[in-house]
Amino acid sequence: MATTTQMESKRKIFITGANGLLGQKLVEQLVAKGEFLVFGSGRGESRLPGKGFEYIDLEITSEEQILKTIQAIHPDIIIHGAAMTNVDQCEQNQEACFDANVNATKYLVKAAESVQAHFIFLSTDFIFSGEKGPLDEKEEASPVNYYGKTKLLGEEIVMNSQTKWAIARTVLVFGIAHDMSRTNIILWVKSSLESGKQIQVVDDQFRTPTLAEDLAAGCILIAEKGAEGIFNISGSDFLTPYEMAMMTADYFGLNKELIKRSDSSTFTQPAKRPLKTGFIIEKARKELGYEPKTFQTAIGILAKQIILARS
């Protein structure tokens, strides 16, 4: 058992979006490390397994609730991972998107300033136009959809804050939630091919797909080192979804002939997607000691997690 003195000496870390995929991995890794007092927040009841953390039901679009919660806990670090991330829903429900991604960030930054917490903001490759990639931290932003616009506005709020801040930009996060509530390209390809279904996969979009565990580890490195500024925290493999699908089929020994190449123009979606993004992660490697898994290794990790989740 930790003594009262040990508990008091531990820094407090507060996470928004704790019920989400990244939030689950953050809480799990932080609790395992035992270096922080961990506070996870989300909308409604906790969907987090395990112990060793405190959960708070929090509406991040309520300025009053946020200020009250942050001032009561007085965290040393805030990792703001909560956001409206469904790109098409953001395009179709712009008011709700602005509230979740811009207003909530503004309220949280204000609360962070009041306790002088180190504010770590999760951002996205969707702030870029998609004309070139992979990109470094100095690339100029030019979003092509409403989701990207709101995340860029969030970044600007953070950069102009009067507290210590960092921005962790990421790309195409994939992984398995403990309750298997989320799908991803690996699960989708695996289940489609196993049921003999033909799938259309684009080969004109380029990304550096990011394992959720790696993104969590990168955010924790920023927190531990008290790092400031912008960091690209993504995978290192520059791939198209078609290449990801082929690698998944190879790994599981499935029929690759069912995977058909297509391009983005064949899909009609409410929100435009940037074609080419992906990140150069040298800064994070050098300054944080961040090293992500290869996509191939990540498939193997997910394969093991699927077995564990179903056992």
Residue 6 is predicted with a pLDDT of 53
One digit per residue, pLDDT tens: the chain, 311 residues? 455 555 668 999 999 999 999 999 999 999 999 999 999 999 999 999 999 999 999 999 999 999 999 999 999 999 999 999 999 999 999 999 999 999 999 999 999 999 999 999 999 999 999 999 999 999 999 999 999 999 999 999 999 999 999 999 999 999 999 877 778 999 999 999 999 999 999 999 999 999 999 999 999 999 999 999 999 999 999 999 999 999 999 999 999 999 999 999 988 899 999 999 999 999 999 999 999 999 999 999 999 999 888 87
Q: Are 76 and 117 in contact (CB under 8 A)?
A: yes
Nearest by Cα to 281 from 296, 291, 271: 291
Return the ∠ at Cα 88 (arms to 86 and 89), rounded to 5°. 65
- Side-chain half-sphere exposure of 277, counting CA atoms within 13 A: 28
The whole-number pLDDT of residue 75 equals: 98
pLDDT of residue 10: 95
Residues 6+ apart with CB under 8 A from 162: 113
Q: Name, in order, each residue with C-beta under 8 angstroms of 3's C-beta and a sequence gap of 6 or more.
A: none
**Homologous superfamily assigned to 9-175+209-236+277-293:** NAD(P)-binding Rossmann-like Domain (3.40.50.720)
Q: What is the pTM of this model?
A: 0.96
List helix spans (H) across the chain: 4-9, 21-33, 63-73, 87-92, 94-98, 104-115, 146-159, 185-194, 212-225, 241-252, 282-288, 295-310
Contact between 85 and 147 under an 8 Å Cβ cutoff? The reply is yes
The pLDDT of residue 182 is 77
